[in-house]
Structure 1
Amino acid sequence: MKWNPHTVKKWFIGANALALMAAVGCSNTPASTANTAVSDGKPSSNSNQPYELTYLTTGDQGAKPLQPNDRIIAEINKRLNIKLNVKIVPENAFDKINVAFASGDLPDVVTTQYPSETVSQWVKEGIIIPLNDYLKDTPSLKAKLEDGLKWTAVDGKYYGYPFISQQEKSNYTIQFRQDWLEKLGLQPPKTIEEFYSTLKAVVEKDPDGNGKADTYGFITNKPIAGDALTAFDFVFYAYGLPYGDWAQDEKGNVIPKFEHPAFKKGLTELRKWYSEKLIDPEFIVYDRPLKEQKFFQSKAGFMDGPLFRHVSRIEGSLQQVNPAGKLGYAPPPAGPEGKQGMAFKGKNAFYTSVTKQAKNPQKAAQFIDFLLSKEGRDLLQLGIEGVHYTKQGDKINYNEEERAKDGFSPNGWSHPLAWGNVTWPIDENYLPQTEPRIERALDSVNVASKYIVPNLVNKKTGSEIEFGKAVNEVYNQYFVSLLNGKLDVDKGIAELGQKWRQAGGDKILKEANDELKKK
């Protein structure tokens, strides 16, 4: 999502595959009904018999670990008549899920990465099953699949719920030291020209007052492994790049974004910034925490990144180092023709499916539906009324002592199962009432969401899944050399196009063109 890694991590990985992180709430289940009764592979007709359901999912780095005897799990068990076992791997650690599947240790329900070669293989081999027959009993799941996600069906069959973030909402913004701009008598830049001038002032006018030329204008970080570097795309959008994924030539054929005229114009601008030391030259080795740390330490005046629930964290961390520090954020700068863009619509998703291991697939589908439903969201976000919170009109009073016993994150944040599988806080528009900068957090989403760039092709093709990492690696290497002036612009872009196609880009373009013709 361009979206929001957080800071506190949780993971449990076993020696052979994945350790059981939680089989909680089971102490509330009578011993006589602790196991699922099956006959000939089918669930028992005894409707009072709890169905033992194992859920394997990726976690959310901002969550606490699940706790023994978790009362939220017990409440889910009671409401769905199941005995839930949860296995959690680190956020984005999809390889750990693949290890479990390769060992034959299949859960009933799994959340993994989509689209991916793995999911495609699971579909072909029948490891995950179609959900169509169970949609009549899963209204929330049915509504979400049939409202905008029909294109994810395979031959008319839904093999999982794909949670694709950053469709209508974004929190990806340009952030800056508002206190520095005030000190320099500057307004937040609205155009590329003003952006350049402001970066130059940050570098040359010593806004931190330490008498040293040790401040860069803009800082970013390297992409996640396998992804393309997109931190500078806001400059290309300003110069007229129309889509977030591809571009088109004069005949309407799909071409790589870097072959659109806007790329050369934007790159020329960026090379000027780089040559004048307005961009931190070491960005390609920074991860996001290190980038933020340098921002807090007054090493840069501007950075890109997510806000929303990060507003309080980022400004709070800034003020720990600089008590007078102020976090500012603004729309991306407009280009010569007034064009702007920041984030692009996402194509990657978390994919939650029922596996062939499920002896009661209907119950497994109903569990997915519960995670998506308002009832489920209320339970995972707030807890049990009278235990984890109370209400006085519209005001929610959080019982932090009781919430901590069940793994809720502090200050009104949610249960470990709330995020990282079927939704994120931004998509639920969820912030606890305890959020100290709630109005700015919500406003940051309103600002960022106005500048989401559409895609030319809605879905990733098979070739893009297969060769995406390889072509992205080629792009990243060439982009850095083009940015720092080691390659001539025209020759470098031409060579990039050749190497990119050799790495699988020719196959990607063919399938993308075929997909575009279906629209």
Structure 2
Amino acid sequence: KDKVYYVPSSNYSKVQTYIMAARKDWMDNLGITKAPETLDEFYDMLKKFTYDDPDGNGEDDTYGIHGGTWMGFNYVPAAYGIQPNSYYLVDGKIVYTSTTEEYKELLKTLNKWFKEKLIDPEFVTDDRDVQRKKWAEGRFGVLVDHPWWFAKSTSGNLTDMLAQANPNAEVIYFEAFEGPDGKSGGIQSYPNLHADGFCFGRNTSDEKVERIMAIMESFAVDWDWYVECYFGEKGKHYNLDKDGKIELIPEMNTPEIHAEEGLSGYFAESPLDLDDYKKFTAIADLPPYQIAEKNKMSYTGVAFPVSGVNEAEKTKGTDITTIAQEFYYNAITGNVDIDAEWDNYIKRLNEAGLQEVLAEFERIAIK
């Protein structure tokens, strides 16, 4: 009573990395016969996507990659062993990744690419909707997102979005490439409670809690019931394909229908793994998930378990993130000299309270 309780949950999509997708038709047009396996090969592909007229329209109107939204450049920082603006436990010590030498080298790489116009210059200000619109329009050749958003069974998916704008477009999903020291990975948030699960408000009665938990338990133990509540009625909301997989009826697979009829994950929450997913997913939707399964995790955020709340991070974290983000964008776009401004940048972070945050993480980290 008088407390908010949060019940964590997870599923296959939460234990897989975000991936990179590239325009395969562009690769074919340019004679690129395989996906990049190293950072250097990725760089070469971005250059060709930018300068060699990959769409064949005779115009200088394409970029290699976008790089906006919280997912950033995904495999690229992972090739240096980090994700920006994160806290890692390294050799028994808490480290803020945006102060490391690896991070400095990452910024120099991205600044070089930006100068060469391989990165869409509007990545700084574009939101996710604008980024996706540009993807559909063929403005850049590599996109970062989660496998779930590439699956055709997802309402508003990126594959259909591109196909509707260009029926001849093809996409290839590829594994994380290796960096200078052989490191690689795909971005994913370290497991946490802020998004994965559901809450009981402080005024929720015991009776309601018990009833809701019983409903949630029923989804986990009764597969047919879960399918009915998540996907709807067979013949109305979905059919089965030749392989016995659930095939959603497009006009019924919309956020509006889901909300109106009480379907999808907001109403039917259940912990699923990839084997469960395969029961209701068309074979054509599996490739992006299979790519994600092969990637190592490159965590973002607080990437270690803790035994309590970091009060210093609660009060000082926003200022630290603001300073780090400003330097990130200014460094990439060439508005600051990375080496010349580095010491002052570190000083500003410390003045904002970074050392206090690190000290508190040292105290509460479960090592």
Counting only pairs closer than 5 Å after superposition, residues 14-163 of structure 1 correspond to structure 2 as 126-128=2-4, 159-163=5-9
Q: What percentage of residue pairs aligned between the two structures are identical?
A: 22
- How many residue pairs were aligned? 350
Residue 88 of structure 1 corresponds to none
Whole-Å Cα distance in 1 between the matches of residues 346 and 363 of structure 2? 20
Aligned equivalent of 1:177? 23
Deviation at 1:238, TM superposition (A): 0.9
The letter for the 2-side match of 1:220 is G
Q: Residues of 1 paired with 2:20 and 2:148: CA distance?
A: 13
Q: Residue deviations 1:448-500, cap 9 Å, x none?
A: 13222256412483333444433322221110011112222234333333333
1:476 to 325, 343, 355: 325
For structure 2, which runs of at least 5 residues remain unmatched after alignment?
Answer: none
- Describe how 1:443-454 pairs up with structure 2 within 5 A: 443-449=287-293, 450-453=295-298
CA contact 1:221–1:284 (8 Å) conserved in 2: yes
Q: Which runs of 5+ in 1 are unaligned?
A: 1-124, 129-158, 224-229
**1:164·1:349 contact (CA, 8 Å) conserved in 2?**
no
Please report the RMSD computed on the Cα atoms of aligned residues, expressed in angstroms: 3.8
How far did residue 330 of structure 1 move?
Answer: 0.7
Specify which structure has the higher proportion of helix.
Answer: 2
Farther-moved stretch of structure 1 (185-194 vs 313-322): 313-322
Higher relative contact order (CA 8 A, sep 6+): 2
In structure 1, distance between residues paired with 2:235 and 2:138: 46
Query: In 2 relative to 1, CA 327–171 (structure 1 residues): closer, same or farther, beyond 3 Å?
Result: farther
C-alpha distance 425-239 of structure 1, shift in aligned 2 (>3 A) = same
Structure 2 residue matching 1:357: 3-state secondary structure: coil
Give the match's secondary structure for 1:353. strand
Note closer, same or farther for the CA distance 1:194–1:499 as it changes in structure 2 (3 Å cut): same
Shift of 1:431: 6.8
Match of 2:80 among 239, 244, 248: 239
1:380 correspondence with 2:229:
yes
**Aligned with 1:239: secondary structure?**
coil
Q: Is the 8 A contact 1:358 1:364 kept in 2?
A: no
Rate the CA distance shift 1:445–1:417 in 2: closer, same or farther, 3 A. Answer: closer
- 1:304 matched residue in structure 2: 144
Distance 1:243 1:164 in 2: 24
1:275: how far off?
0.8
**Matching of residue 339 in structure 1 with residue 183 in structure 2:** yes
In the alignment, structure 1 residue 264 sits paired with structure 2 residue 113: no
Per-residue CA distance 1:131-157 (angstroms, 9 max, x = gap): xxxxxxxxxxxxxxxxxxxxxxxxxxx
Deviations 1:43-62 (A, max 9, x none): xxxxxxxxxxxxxxxxxxxx
Give 3-state SS (helix, strand or coil) of 1:301's partner.
Answer: strand
Q: Tell me the TM-score normalised to structure 2 length.
A: 0.80
Q: Secondary structure at the match of 2:55?
A: coil
Q: Does 1:496 align with 2:341?
A: no
Superposed counterparts of 1:328-367, under 5 Å: 328-346=172-190, 347=192, 348-354=194-200, 355-360=202-207, 361-367=209-215
Verify: 1:509 aligned to 2:353, yes or no: no
Q: Which moved more, 1:458-467 or 1:418-427?
A: 418-427
- Are residues 429 and 277 of structure 1, via their aligned partners in 2, closer, same or farther at CA, if it must alter by over 3 Å? farther
Aligned to 2:310: 462
Q: Is this contact kept in 1: 2:163–2:169, CA < 8 A? A: yes
Q: Larger Cα Rg: Structure 1 or Structure 2? A: 1
**1:207 maps to which residue?**
54
How much has 1:199 moved relative to structure 2? 0.7
- In 2: Cα distance, 1:499 partner to 1:351 partner: 37
Which residue pairs with 1:192 in the alignment? 39
Specify whether residues 381 and 351 from structure 1 end up closer, same or farther in structure 2 by C-alpha distance, changes over 3 A only. closer
Structure 1's 391 and 248: CA in aligned 2 closer, same or farther, altered over 3 A?
closer
Cα-to-partner distance string for 1:88-140 (whole Å, 9 max, x where unaligned): xxxxxxxxxxxxxxxxxxxxxxxxxxxxxxxxxxxxx8233xxxxxxxxxxxx
What do the CA deviations read for 1:359-408 (whole angstroms, capped 9, x no partner)?
Answer: 5143343234345444552332244679877889973677969x79xx86
Q: Which one-letter code corresponds to 1:379 in the other structure?
A: E
